[in-house]
Amino acid sequence: MSAASTPPLGGLSLLGLEPMLRAWLAEDLGRGDLSAPALAGRSARACWQAKQAGVFCGGVLVEPLFRLLDPAVVVQLRVADGERVESGQRLLELEGTAAALVAGERTALNLAMRLSGIATATAALVAELAGSGVALADTRKTTPGLRLLEKYAVRCGGGRNHRLGLDDAAMLKENHLAWAGGVGPAAAAVRAQAPWPCRLIVEAETGGEAEAAVRAGADGVLLDEFSPEDLAALVPRLRALASERGAPVMLEASGVRPEALRRYAATGIDLISTSAPVTRSAWLDLSMRFDPVLA
C-alpha cells in the first residue's frame, strides 16, 4: 500500500488527536523526564526498525506526537501505514533535540506497536477471505479512548469498519427483542423515533428471527453462532424475502472461528464480523535506534 492510499483516520483528524497525544505523553513524562539534563543542548537522529514481519500502522501519529516535544523535529516516513514490512526493515527517520526524541520514544512506539499488531492480525484474516467476495469487519469491542485508532488499524489491515458507536446504526440484539416484544415492535419503534436516518440491523439467533428481521425491513441481519451448514440453507431464503420486499439486505455472520472463515464465506453471506484483531492480537515488535549525537 502506498502513502497515497493510506486509509484516512476516519472521524479523528490530526488536529483532534492533539489532546489525546498530550494526555498520553503526560502519562509517561509525569513531572518531567529526569534523564533530560544528560541530553541538554544536544541534537540527534534516530530511526525506527521492525523487529518482526507484519503490517505497519501508526506512522501518521509520529510527527504530531514528537512536535509537541520539539516543534522543529523532522520525521521522514519510509513506510506507509498499511504496508507490509519485514524484520529489520527501516520504517522512519527522525531528527530533533535528543531530549525530545528520548521523551517521546516509549509513547510513540507503544501506540504504533499496538496498532501494527491489530493491522497485522486483520491482514491475516482478510487473506483467508481473498477471492471470496466476503468482507471482514470489526466490532465495538475496542479499548476505551482508542476506538478510532484501533478501527483505523483494522482498515490499514484491509478490514472494514462496522459501527463506530451507538449513534452510527441501530442494532437490535437479544435484549432489545425481548424487552420490546419481538423483532416487529422493536424495528417499528426505531423507524418511527430515530432522530436521523440510520441503518437498522437485527441480530438473529434463529432462522425465524432472521426471516422476521427481513420482513420488518431491516437493512442488515447479523447471524450469530450459526453453523456454515445452517447458513447455507438460510441465506437463500433471506435473499428471496428481501427480493419480495424490493430492497437488498446485508447478511453478516458473527461468532466465526478463524479456521472456519472460508467455510462461512462459501454460504453466500456478505460480511464476517469479528473482534479478534483488536481483542486477541499481539503487539508488533518495533524499536527506535539512535544514530551518533550531532551536537
On whether the CB atoms of residues 200 and 249 are closer than 8 A, the answer is no
Closest C-alpha to 128, from 259, 271, 251, 223: 259
Catalytic-role residue among 106, 140, 215, 262: 106
Beta strand pairing call for 271-273 and 200-204 = unpaired
Given the residues 51, 90, 141, 257, the one annotated as active site:
141
Catalytic position from the list 83, 209, 224, 252: 224
Phi, psi of 99 (to 5 degrees): -65, -40
d(CA 240, CA 213): 13
d(CA 284, CA 191): 43
| Residue 121 cell numbers, joined | 492480525
Let me know if 209 is a catalytic residue: no
Determine whether 203 is an active site residue: yes
User: Is there a catalytic annotation at residue 173?
Assistant: yes
Three-state SS for 238? helix
| CA-closest candidate to residue 143, choices 277, 286, 7, 285 | 277
Cell of 41: 543542548
Burial of 289 (0-12, 13-18, 19+ CB in 10 A): exposed
Active-site entry in 203, 209, 211, 270? 203
The residue from 84, 140, 173, 199 that is catalytic is 173
> Which residues carry out catalysis?
106, 141, 173, 203, 224
